[in-house]
Amino acid sequence: MFLMLFLILLGFAGIFGKLFWIQIAATESYSSRGINLVKNSVIQRQRALVLESGRGEILDRNLQPLTGKIVKALVAFPINSEFAMNGQEVSQLTRILKTNKASWVTFASNLKEPQVWGTQDGGKALSLSSQQVKEIDGLGLANIKVVEMEDRYPTGMTARQLIGFIGQNPDRVMQIYGSDLEKGRVALTSKIGGAGLEKSFDAWLRGVGETSISYFTDAGKRPLAGLDARMIAPDNSFYPVKLITTLDSRVQQQIEALMDKLNIRDGAAVVQEAKHGDVIAMASRPNYNPLQVDLASNNWSNYAIKATAPGSIFKTIVAAAALDEKVVTPTETFNCEGALGKYGFTCWWRDGHGPLTLEEGYAQSCNIVFANVMGRLTAAQLEKYANKLGVLNEVGWTGKTDTRDVFEQWDSEERGQLFAAHTPENDEGVLMQTAIGQRDVRMTPLQASNMVVTLLNDGKGFSPRVVQEIQYQTGREMEAFPVKSLSSDDGKISVATSRTLLKWMREVVTEGTGQSLQGAKWKLAGKSGTAQIQNGKQEKVNQWFIGYGPVETPQYAVSVVIKNTDPTESNKAIPLFKGIMDILASQGLSNSK
């Protein structure tokens, strides 16, 4: 009997000892895994909502935000029904929110976690006015709170394809951020850059932690006195960082509005500064919603850095090769009768242009002239000049940074192309088709505008930047991306040829295929192009125009392409080019660093 009583007392002592150890002695390091019981007991009572991702801001050259607009929003917390609103309070709140009682009751009754009003059907947070905030605060309700939160991709946001999007990608998290994953700095469910600047600059933009609001309740979902709603944010004054781009948001917005006004369904536009090639604007259509990305669609793809058939703008490379290699004299003429007489090769002007010099052939975009000129050049020579003018390789800024040996600013920029893998390069018919930018030739709008920049700098090419600097939140420089020259193993075209081609571009506008540009605010120069392409079983065309302005003191190079248009459709490339130049003429733009 005594022994049994002793064993019972010993058992109770063991239980009390264990409870003492759990609740008093080892609350912050329980078990061999070091589980913090205090922390986890609080977590169980905590209802948190992320208000800001901590992701870096993307700004234009004038420090105007392109992403991350801060809005006032209403958060509702799922707490005990005794703290829920009565009928009068619901009526007052729905009046302030400009909604109906049924919508609010449905929203509130389905809450399992804190939620922002407006996001219940996958929508965006409803941005509250200052008057709405004042009235909501005046209600003093226990289960709702007005907060400041980040709207990463605000309505009306521009440069969407260039900026890109973020999303969950566990495989890529493991591949790129494996060490951070092990240390708990990132989770498999963390949102990372999926395309555009969000992807290429993800390592800098990720930040050091989220800002969230937490609401603490007891087991009965009653608010805990003294805890209530608390903001939890990383204590680091250097983050999030600021990504300072070369873009001008005013110009970008107006160009996109113009593209939509012209009903451009499929295409792109690029504006570069003449001096160093910095990108002022880059627009792509069709548009897309970065909050609801359909990866199977191409609308999120940035067509400004995707290669497509260039048509007659490629004649600029052929002309450069002919001038520098001196295979044509200035006064020599070529007779265009509308057809070459072999290979089924024709001119776009079926009646024929008659006798034309190379200079006149460039202004009139005569196919027959360029077929004859190409007969005096080799495939190797053409490739050499395509390289000199930077249309075969990626041209975007690539270089070494403080943290990377090789870094590319542009996400998924495509190379250009002269011949496909199994094309007989020295075949006469192939070369003639290549000379007018058809068959296998491919070029991106960025390469096309950058070619004009190269001509404006006497044959010296630049590697276009879209980001000039990354700053800490304090404004101190974190990383700089200096202006870089674009070098080619084949060297550069001559100064004389560069200046001759710029003069010929002016003649395109005064006497040739671009005469409708004469009514622009500036005197302009450029080159038109129309490329026949096959879209499935249908024949379509790409409409191009590239050029510069103003002619007297060139400031900008511009390229536009309207893709996959019906051959019977009117030309929209020239009106778009003119509209962009008029926008630029109306703006006083600041210089990038």
pLDDT tops 80 at residue 267: yes
Least confident of 46-50, 89-93, 392-396: 46-50
Whether 533 is in a domain gets the answer yes
Domain co-membership, 439 together with 538 = yes
Domain co-membership, 228 together with 253 = no
pLDDT tops 50 at residue 231: yes
pLDDT tops 80 at residue 190: yes
Higher pLDDT among residues 57 and 230, named by residue: 57
Domain co-membership, 118 together with 181 = yes
Whether 20 is in a domain gets the answer no
| pLDDT tens track for 507-534 | 999 999 999 999 999 999 999 999 999 8
Report residue 45's pLDDT band, with 50, 70 and 90 as the boundaries.
Answer: very low
Domain co-membership, 189 together with 265 = no
| pLDDT tens track for 66-85 | 998 899 999 988 776 655 68
Summarize the confidence of residues 353-370 as an average pLDDT. Answer: 97
| pLDDT tens track for 162-186 | 999 999 899 999 998 888 888 877 8
Domain co-membership, 573 together with 428 = yes
CATH number where 346 lies = 3.40.710.10
In which domain, by residue range, is 156 found? 54-245
For 132-156, letters b (16+ CB in 10 Å) and e give beebbeeeebbbbbbbebbbbbbee
Report residue 344's pLDDT band, with 50, 70 and 90 as the boundaries.
Answer: confident
Domain co-membership, 557 together with 518 = yes
CATH number where 241 lies = 3.90.1310.10
pLDDT at 460: 97
Distances from the Cα of 158 to the Cα of 132, 174, 256, 330, 583, angstroms: 28, 31, 7, 46, 16
pLDDT at 221: 59
pLDDT averaged over the chain?
89
Domain co-membership, 575 together with 469 = yes
SS3 54: coil
pLDDT tops 90 at residue 430: yes
Least confident of 10-19, 32-41, 253-262, 330-339: 32-41
The token pair that represents 308 in the structure block: 């497509």
Whether 591 is in a domain gets the answer no
**Residue whose structure tokens are 């969407």:** 160
Report residue 37's pLDDT band, with 50, 70 and 90 as the boundaries.
Answer: very low
Higher pLDDT among residues 69 and 38, named by residue: 69
The token pair that represents 39 in the structure block: 């922390």
The token pair that represents 236 in the structure block: 């680091």
Report residue 228's pLDDT band, with 50, 70 and 90 as the boundaries.
Answer: low
Report residue 591's pLDDT band, with 50, 70 and 90 as the boundaries.
Answer: very low
pLDDT at 220: 60
Report residue 15's pLDDT band, with 50, 70 and 90 as the boundaries.
Answer: low
Whether 13 is in a domain gets the answer no
| pLDDT tens track for 97-135 | 999 999 988 888 888 888 899 887 777 888 999 999 999
Higher pLDDT among residues 401 and 356, named by residue: 356
Whole-angstrom distance, CA of residue 280 vs CA of residue 249: 9
Summarize the confidence of residues 412-416 as an average pLDDT. Answer: 97
pLDDT tops 60 at residue 286: yes
Which residue, 502, 485, 510, 494, is CA-closest to 547? 502
Whole-angstrom distance, CA of residue 315 vs CA of residue 433: 11
pLDDT at 134: 95
Higher pLDDT among residues 140 and 268, named by residue: 268
Domain co-membership, 272 together with 132 = no
Whether 85 is in a domain gets the answer yes
Domain co-membership, 196 together with 220 = yes
At residue 197's C-alpha, the angle toward residues 582 and 193, to 5°, is 145
SS3 416: coil
Instruction: Provide the β-strand partners of residue 273.
Output: 556
Q: How many domains does the chain have?
A: 2
Q: Is the dihedral of CA 415, 400, 206, 197 positive or negative?
A: negative
Report residue 588's pLDDT band, with 50, 70 and 90 as the boundaries.
Answer: low
pLDDT tops 90 at residue 232: no
How many Cα atoms within 13 Å fall on the side-chain side of residue 497? Answer: 21
Q: Which of the listed ranges 164-168, 291-295, 445-449 does the model predict with the highest average pLDDT?
A: 445-449
Whether 2 is in a domain gets the answer no
Report residue 574's pLDDT band, with 50, 70 and 90 as the boundaries.
Answer: very high
| Inter-axis angle of helices 87-97 and 130-139, nearest 10 | 170
Report residue 22's pLDDT band, with 50, 70 and 90 as the boundaries.
Answer: very low
Whether 29 is in a domain gets the answer no
Summarize the confidence of residues 212-228 as an average pLDDT. Answer: 62
Whether 40 is in a domain gets the answer no
Q: In what order do the strands lie in the sheet with 115-116?
A: 115-116, 69-76, 144-151
Domain co-membership, 210 together with 253 = no
Least confident of 3-7, 109-113, 242-246, 278-282: 3-7
Domain co-membership, 235 together with 276 = no
pLDDT tops 70 at residue 495: yes
Domain co-membership, 218 together with 269 = no
